[in-house]
């Protein structure tokens, strides 16, 4: 799947804190780390009193939300304003429990579809006119269950490997092929 080339800012959302580091809900933050490294981004720095950190790569600006998932809108609004990027040039990396693990989809201008982090961003920006890079986290063999039942659980090693492969595909779609870890 091709990711649009006019994206300027890539925002990763998830939950802060070590207790959430290796959970499925943090797939967006894990993807951000991978893409930033692939683009040669420098150290992430926090602007004074802002709810995000940012770094500049060779091709993109990267922002890491420091809020909890359900309050991601504050980070998106502050990052767009501070970095002077309009929402239509923003791509949000996030977990997607409706997609199978090892897949991703790119969408523009879609509703939140029950994803509370995306709903927060739509509300804060006053528009759904931004890109979403939806990273599948639902294990293929999983019985259909509510996302809340597994998104905060620790990733299985095989699932982490599947996500790393998908991060490389996303990097390739962004023109960062050969640069990803």
Tell me if 112 is assigned to some domain.
yes
Q: Is residue 179 part of a domain?
A: no
Annotated active-site residue 59? The verdict is no
Residue 46 lies in a domain: yes
pTM, whole model, 2 decimals? 0.92
In a domain, 3, yes or no: no
Q: Which residues pair with 90 in a beta bridge?
A: 9
Residues 128 and 109: beta-carbon distance below 8 Å: yes
Q: What is the pLDDT of residue 152?
A: 81
Question: How much of the chain, in percent, has pLDDT values that exceed 70?
Answer: 89
pLDDT of 181 reads: 47
Residue 121 lies in a domain: yes
Q: Is the pLDDT of residue 179 over 80?
A: no
Task: List Cβ neighbours of 161 (8 Å cut-off, separation of 6 or more).
Answer: none
Residue 44 lies in a domain: yes
Residue 180 above 50 pLDDT? Answer: no
- Give the DSSP letter of residue 22: T
Residues 181, 171: Cα–Cα separation, whole Å:
10
Would you say residue 120 has pLDDT above 50?
yes
The H or E element spanning position 2 is none
How many structural domains is the chain composed of? 1
Query: In this predicted structure, which of 18-27, 31-40, 112-121, 144-153 has the lowest mean pLDDT?
Result: 144-153
- CATH number at 120 reads 3.40.50.1470
Give me the percent of the chain exceeding a pLDDT of 90: 76
**What is the mean predicted confidence (pLDDT) over 29-43?**
96
| Residues of the domain holding 76 | 9-173
> pLDDT digits over 53-90, tens only?
999 999 999 999 999 999 999 999 999 999 999 999 99
> Is the pLDDT score of 142 beyond 80?
no
Residue 125 lies in a domain: yes
Active-site residue among 6, 25, 34, 94? 25
Tell me what the mean pLDDT of segment 99-112 comes to: 92
Quick one: 164 exposed, middle or buried, by C-beta within 10 A (0-12, 13-18, 19+)? middle
- Predicted pLDDT at 67: 98
Residue 22 lies in a domain: yes
């Amino acid at each position: 799947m091709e990711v649009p080339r006019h994206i300027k800012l890539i925002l990763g959302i998830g939950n802060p804190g070590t207790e959430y580091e290796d959970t499925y809900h943090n797939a967006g933050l894990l993807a951000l780390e991978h893409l930033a490294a692939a683009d040669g981004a420098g150290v992430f720095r926090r602007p004074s009193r802002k709810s995000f950190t940012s770094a500049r790569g060779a091709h993109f600006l990267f922002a890491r939300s420091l809020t909890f998932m359900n309050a991601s809108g504050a980070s998106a609004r502050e990052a767009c304003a501070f970095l002077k990027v309009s929402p239509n040039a923003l791509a949000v990396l996030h977990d997607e429990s409706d997609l199978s693990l090892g897949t991703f989809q790119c969408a523009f201008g879609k509703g939140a579809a029950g994803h509370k982090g995306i709903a927060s961003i739509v509300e804060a920006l006053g528009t759904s006119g931004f890109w979403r890079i939806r990273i599948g986290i639902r294990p293929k063999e999983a019985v259909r269950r509510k996302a809340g039942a597994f998104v905060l659980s620790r990733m299985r090693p095989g699932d982490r490997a599947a996500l790393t492969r998908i991060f490389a595909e996303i990097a390739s779609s962004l023109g960062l092929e050969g640069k990803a870890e």
